Amino acid sequence: MDTLSPSLSASAFEDDALDSLDVMGSDVFLNLRNSFANIGFNESNIRDQYLFESDPDGAFILPKLHNRKTSHVSSLDALVYLFMGQESLSVDCVAQSTGSRFFSELQEVNLIQIHEGGATCQATVRIEPVKKLLVCADRFPQRSSSIEPILRPDHVYRPWDFSAQLYTRIIPHTQCESFLEMCCGSGYVCLTAAQHFAQSVCGVDINPRAIRFAEFNKKLNGIENVTTYCGDLFKPVQSRTFDRIVAHPPYVPALVDSLTYRDGGVDGERISTDLIRGIPVHLSDGGEFHSYLVLSDRIDAPAELRVRKMLGEYAQEFDVALLILAERSPASYLLKRTDPNPFTEEYEQKYEACRQLGIVKFLSTVLTIRSRRGGSPTTFRNRAISWETVRAMEGPVAKKIEERKKV
Ligand SMILES: C[S@@+](CC[C@H](N)C(=O)[O-])C[C@H]1O[C@@H](n2cnc3c(N)ncnc32)[C@H](O)[C@@H]1O
């Protein structure tokens, strides 16, 4: 997840495509997705044709487009550089390459806006393809783009970020009846589940803006069998159980939580602890929970035994498996997570808080909890297996993890 500092400026991202949602019919969305599809705006095309670089926060970004105001661009270039490169492009180039009808539709739903007295246009959101889905999320301050959006406290996270990519790959895509994504953000995992392997899908997020994005994304992709709820963890689904629960919660240590998608209290585990506590109540018999998150080993117990403790009186009913992808000492982890300068007062305070809590290691992990199938409960922690799993993955995530492994 990013380490960029949030700006609390009230002027952040004033113009919001989501305002159009309530008034638009499904035909508008159908036209839009057909136009994106006809231009070839899908994940495999884009990954094949464009060179994405990984920035220091692990986000995949496009190199800068030269002569963005004058050059002739293909229709795919125009969409990729507007919605993924966060570039400001010439209205003439974009209208010419995409066709004036599609260009007007994009304006109508407020996905792009005109600037500089009609000369240039910019995207109001990021659109990233996940396979053939179109996923809207917030633009973010990326170093290479000509637009510098401010990171707002209710920022909605994007699917092409490194940790989101990893998370998507650890979720089993086998058939299941009831699927719950906790902390669903823009909702693309819910949409994938609904499209490919789950009969009923629920998504919960505490951020109302995330739920609006998720609802927008549902309509944009014409997917109906997903229900979204705005609320704190399991509160909106209090009396229900699910066959599969998945989550990519916020886990970055923060003295004061300022970004909803990122900050997880002083040890990073504030939300994860409550999430894990809720699993025994909400997982069906035979069900599984899968999560990508950061946990810690402490002086008094390693992470996997701490997870068992969080499961409380029902702990014996579950198997717990932790695959460790990376581990760091508090000093090194906090340094990576403290922006912008190392060894600030903030860093010192976080370090002292970790010391008092007895944290000896931060672990980047894939956590699986499953309802026990006979025998005695298993607790499992492994590092080697995670590398095999990772090697079996394709694409930039695997590459990135291999790089990290060498460091
Ligand atoms: C790292 S983002 C993950 C978003 C999405 N699952 C993804 O991978 O792109 C964490 C999400 O957790 C949500 N969140 C934070 N605290 C929460 C809580 N107490 N209950 C439900 N959602 C929460 C945030 O709003 C954010 O959307």
Pocket test for ligand 1, best of 2, 165, 183 (most atoms within 8 A of CB): 183
What separation in Å is there between the alpha carbon of 163 and the centre of ligand 1?
13
| pLDDT band of 403, cuts 50, 70, 90 | low
Q: Could you read off the pLDDT of 228-247 as tens digits, one per residue?
A: 999 999 999 999 999 999 99
What separation in Å is there between the alpha carbon of 9 and the centre of ligand 1?
22
Per-residue pLDDT, 394: 46
Is residue 54 included in any domain, yes or no? Answer: yes
Residue located nearest, by CA, to atom 8 of ligand 1: 164
Residue located nearest, by CA, to atom 12 of ligand 1: 183
Pocket test for ligand 1, best of 157, 204, 212 (most atoms within 8 A of CB): 157
Q: Could you read off the pLDDT of 47-64 as tens digits, one per residue?
A: 888 877 766 666 667 776
Query: What three-state secondary structure class fits 206?
Result: coil
C-alpha 222/C-alpha 216 separation (Å) is 10
What separation in Å is there between the alpha carbon of 39 and the centre of ligand 1?
32
DSSP string of 252-310?
B--SS---TTTB--TTS-HHHHHHHHHHHHHEEEEEEEEEEEEEEEETTB-HHHHHHHH
Q: Could you read off the pLDDT of 144-195 as tens digits, one per residue?
A: 666 666 788 999 999 988 889 889 888 888 999 999 999 999 999 999 999 9
| pLDDT band of 16, cuts 50, 70, 90 | low
What separation in Å is there between the alpha carbon of 333 and the centre of ligand 1?
21
Task: Tell whether 361 and 275 lie within a shared domain.
Answer: yes
Q: Pocket around ligand 1: residues whose beta carbon is below 6 Å from it?
A: 1, 157, 159, 164, 167, 183-186, 189, 204-207, 210, 232-233, 248-250, 260-261, 271
Per-residue pLDDT, 317: 94
What separation in Å is there between the alpha carbon of 301 and the centre of ligand 1?
27
Residue 7 has pLDDT above 60, yes or no: no
Task: Tell whether 131 and 178 lie within a shared domain.
Answer: no
Residue located nearest, by CA, to atom 27 of ligand 1: 185
C-alpha 296/C-alpha 264 separation (Å) is 13
Token pair, residue 77, equals 């270039």
């002569």: which residue's tokens?
Answer: 67
Query: What three-state secondary structure class fits 59?
Result: strand
| pLDDT band of 5, cuts 50, 70, 90 | very low
C-alpha 200/C-alpha 345 separation (Å) is 48
Is residue 5 included in any domain, yes or no? Answer: no
% the chain with pLDDT above 70? 81
Task: Tell whether 70 and 182 lie within a shared domain.
Answer: no
Is residue 148 included in any domain, yes or no? Answer: no
Beta-bridged to residue 180, according to DSSP, are 202, 245
What separation in Å is there between the alpha carbon of 330 and the centre of ligand 1?
24
- Output the CA angle 155-160-164, nearest 5 degrees: 75
What separation in Å is there between the alpha carbon of 141 and the centre of ligand 1?
19
Is residue 352 included in any domain, yes or no? Answer: yes
Atom of ligand 1 nearest to the CA of 274: 19
Residue 379 has pLDDT above 90, yes or no: no
CATH number of the domain encompassing residue 308: 3.40.50.150
Per the CB < 8 A criterion, the answer to whether 156 and 261 are in contact is: yes
Look up the domain containing 30 and give its range. Answer: 17-137
Atom of ligand 1 nearest to the CA of 137: 9
Task: Tell whether 28 and 120 lie within a shared domain.
Answer: yes
Over the Cα atoms of the chain, what is R_g? 22
Cis peptide before 340 (omega within 30 of 0): yes
Task: Tell whether 92 and 195 lie within a shared domain.
Answer: no
Q: What order of strands is seen across the sheet that includes strand 120-123?
A: 89-90, 120-123, 112-115
Query: What three-state secondary structure class fits 336?
Result: helix
| pLDDT band of 377, cuts 50, 70, 90 | confident
Is residue 244 included in any domain, yes or no? Answer: yes
Is residue 38 included in any domain, yes or no? Answer: yes
Atom of ligand 1 nearest to the CA of 164: 8
pTM of the predicted protein model: 0.89
Task: Tell whether 330 and 182 lie within a shared domain.
Answer: yes
What separation in Å is there between the alpha carbon of 247 and the centre of ligand 1?
8
Task: Tell whether 88 and 188 lie within a shared domain.
Answer: no
Task: Tell whether 398 and 273 lie within a shared domain.
Answer: yes
Task: Tell whether 122 and 172 lie within a shared domain.
Answer: no
Per-residue pLDDT, 198: 97
Beta-bridged to residue 158, according to DSSP, are none
What separation in Å is there between the alpha carbon of 268 and the centre of ligand 1?
13
Pocket test for ligand 1, best of 205, 228, 251 (most atoms within 8 A of CB): 205
Is residue 9 included in any domain, yes or no? Answer: no
Bridging pattern class, strands 359-371 and 283-298: antiparallel
Atom of ligand 1 nearest to the CA of 210: 27
Phi, psi of 87 (to 5 degrees): -95, 155
Is residue 145 included in any domain, yes or no? Answer: no
Task: Tell whether 259 and 205 lie within a shared domain.
Answer: yes
DSSP character at residue 232: S
Task: Tell whether 42 and 113 lie within a shared domain.
Answer: yes
Overall number of domains in the chain: 2
Task: Tell whether 239 and 91 lie within a shared domain.
Answer: no
Q: Could you read off the pLDDT of 97-142 as tens digits, one per residue?
A: 999 999 999 988 889 988 878 889 999 999 999 988 999 999 887 7
| pLDDT band of 19, cuts 50, 70, 90 | low
Top pLDDT among 140 and 38 is at 38
C-alpha 180/C-alpha 247 separation (Å) is 9
């900050």: which residue's tokens?
Answer: 263
C-alpha 188/C-alpha 211 separation (Å) is 11
Atom of ligand 1 nearest to the CA of 167: 8
